[in-house]
Amino acid sequence: MAHLFLIAPIATKLWMQFAIFAGIDIEDMNLKQLINTWWNIHSTPKLEAVYRAMLAFIMWIIWKRRNNIKHGGNVTLNNMIWKVQDMIRKLLKSLYPWMKIGKEDWPHMVNLLKKYKPRLHYYCVTWKFPARDRVKCNTDGACRGNLGMSALAFCVRDEFGDLIYATA
Give the whole-angstrom CA distance, residue 12 versus residue 138. Answer: 62
62 and 22 share a domain?
A: yes
Return the pLDDT at 1. 67
Return the pLDDT at 28. 85
24 and 40 share a domain?
A: yes
pLDDT tens digits for range 118-156: 777 888 889 999 999 999 999 999 988 777 889 999 999
78 and 159 share a domain?
A: no
88 and 159 share a domain?
A: no
Number of structural domains found in the chain = 2
Domain that holds residue 168: 123-168
Give the whole-angstrom CA distance, residue 69 versus residue 75. Answer: 8
111 and 132 share a domain?
A: no
What DSSP state is assigned to residue 119?
P
Global pTM reads 0.65
34 and 104 share a domain?
A: yes
Residue 77 in contact with residue 13, Cβ under 8 Å? yes
Q: What is the mean pLDDT of the chain?
A: 87
Q: Is the pLDDT of residue 158 over 80?
A: yes
7 and 83 share a domain?
A: yes
Residue 64 in contact with residue 82, Cβ under 8 Å? no
Q: For the chain, give the longest Cα–Cα distance.
A: 83
pLDDT tens digits for range 49-76: 888 898 899 999 999 998 998 898 888 9
